[in-house]
Chains A and B, each alone.
Chain A
Amino acid sequence: MHERADRLAGNFVTVDEDLAREFEARLVESSTLAFRVAFSVLRQREDAEDVAQEAFAKAYRSFRQLRERDRFRAWLVRMTWRMALDRQRANRRRLAREAVDDVVEAGLQTRLEKTADPAIAQERADQLWRAIDALPEKLRLVIVLAGIQGHDIHEVALLLDVPDGTVKSRLFIARKQLRERLSWMANDIASR
């Protein structure tokens, strides 16, 4: 009787250990992805890490349904994106209350192409972020995911659970809109 109970408990422990091992592997390979998705929305390292951490905690709670690698990453991206948007809205409300408009910009840390003048690079980064933020959400997510870790169209399609063709067309429209907005912003600056 005790032997059977021990064996049964042993099986549960094995299942526990397997799950923990698998989750650890997913965490290691997807931590940067989750962070960057959150960062693309929030532009603040601390906030992005908080949101990505919460997304992993949620993923852990339902990890049995998310053991498959692709499924896990897709779920994680969508969850992190939604949570980051929620956080961004909350931040905006808070900032509006505090009337400190430049906090987000002050926390911005990005690695831009090396330029002679950091101020110009910063200005260019701000323009690009503003242009990305102005995109509709579906286009925005596609352009961000395509820009993270060099994802190709198929990888983005897997992450969003949509056909490759959909990603391709969204990417095309997003880039076109971005180019137009950036040109418009550049002309605006030049005309000043």
Chain B
Amino acid sequence: MDGQRHREPVNDAALEREIESLLASEPSPEFVARVRARVSDEPVAVRWWLQWKAGLAAAAIAAIALVVVWPSRDRQEQSPTLVRPSIERQAPVVVSPPVVGQANVTPRPYPVPRETETARTAALVPVVAEEDARAFDALLAALDDRSVRLVFNHESSAPVVSALAIPPIIIEPLPIALEGGVE
């Protein structure tokens, strides 16, 4: 009888009912409990999210710090420009000998300019002889080390330039030739 019924053409409602009955299977009662247990083994979603946020914040801070620090570092690199010693000499500088017991002043080796610095100074026109610059650097290095002390001696005689005696200039009138010459 049922077999006969199934051989008849099926309408939509009957088909729908049949499919529903096919799919009307229930999971076992332990299914939800097993899913809970399975999920409890998983890393907590929010913590992953927070880690991601924390990583992003750290990256942003690092980027900002880089942007702030980089230009100032660039300025520091530009600062050691060549300092030319002044040629003017007002008072003679006397370098006192090093204190007994201290090591002799050994001038630092001339600092080798870095590549960027070299490129930057290449355009400069040298106004001081290389030996003078080197000696000045050595002096500065010694001063930095405090192995050399500067003492200003106001009493020492500086080379005084005596006043120039300029004889008065006498301009005499030129003789005028009247005879047969041009008037």
Chain A residues with CB under 8 Å of chain B are 12, 15-16, 19, 23-24, 27-28, 31-32, 35-36, 39-40, 45, 48-49, 52-54, 56-57, 60-64, 109-113, 115-117, 120-121, 124-125, 128-129, 132, 143-144, 146-148, 150, 175, 178-179, 182-183, 186-187, 189-190
CA separation between A27 and B31, bound complex, in Å?
Answer: 11
CA separation between A128 and B12, bound complex, in Å?
Answer: 14
**Would A113 and B18 be within 8 Å (CB), given that A19-B45, A35-B31, A45-B28 are in contact?**
yes
CB of B151 within 8 Å of the partner chain = no
Q: Which of B9, B24, B28 has the most CB of A within 10 A?
A: B24
CA separation between A7 and B125, bound complex, in Å?
Answer: 66
List 24 A-B pairs, Cβ < 8 Å: A27-B36, A28-B32, A31-B27, A31-B35, A32-B27, A35-B25, A35-B26, A36-B23, A48-B27, A49-B34, A52-B27, A53-B31, A61-B45, A61-B48, A64-B46, A110-B22, A110-B24, A111-B25, A116-B1, A144-B19, A175-B12, A179-B9, A182-B15, A189-B7
When the two chains form their complex, are residues A23 and B39 in contact, meaning their CB atoms are under 8 A apart?
Answer: yes
For B36, list chain A residues within 8 Å (CB): 24, 27
When the two chains form their complex, are residues A31 and B31 in contact, meaning their CB atoms are under 8 A apart?
Answer: yes
Q: Which of B31-65 contact A (CB under 8 A)?
A: 31-32, 34-36, 38-39, 42-50
CB of B155 within 8 Å of the partner chain = no
Q: How many interface contacts (CB-CB < 8 Å) are there between A and B?
A: 130
For A19, list chain B residues within 8 Å (CB): 44-46
**Would A182 and B10 be within 8 Å (CB), given that A61-B43, A128-B19 are in contact?**
yes
When the two chains form their complex, are residues B35 and A27 in contact, meaning their CB atoms are under 8 A apart?
Answer: yes
CB of B118 within 8 Å of the partner chain = no
Chain B contact surface mostly: helix
Query: How many residues of B are counted as interface, with CB atoms below 8 angstroms from the partner's CB atoms?
Result: 38
**Would A15 and B46 be within 8 Å (CB), given that A116-B2, A187-B7 are in contact?**
yes
For B28, list chain A residues within 8 Å (CB): 45, 49
Residue among B2, B17, B19 making CB contact with A121, cutoff 8 Å: B2
- Which chain A residue shows the least CB distance to B2? A115
For B15, list chain A residues within 8 Å (CB): 175, 178-179, 182
CA separation between A57 and B44, bound complex, in Å?
Answer: 11
Chain A contact surface mostly: helix
Residue among B18, B19, B35, B46 making CB contact with A16, cutoff 8 Å: B46
- Which chain A residue shows the least CB distance to B16? A147
For A125, list chain B residues within 8 Å (CB): 22
Q: Identify the 5 closest CB pairs spanning chains A and B, nearest first.
A: A147-B19, A35-B27, A186-B7, A115-B2, A60-B39
When the two chains form their complex, are residues A112 and B38 in contact, meaning their CB atoms are under 8 A apart?
Answer: no
CA separation between A182 and B5, bound complex, in Å?
Answer: 12
Smallest beta-carbon distance A63→chain B, Å: 5
Smallest beta-carbon distance B40→chain A, Å: 9
CA separation between A48 and B28, bound complex, in Å?
Answer: 11
For B2, list chain A residues within 8 Å (CB): 115-117, 120-121, 124
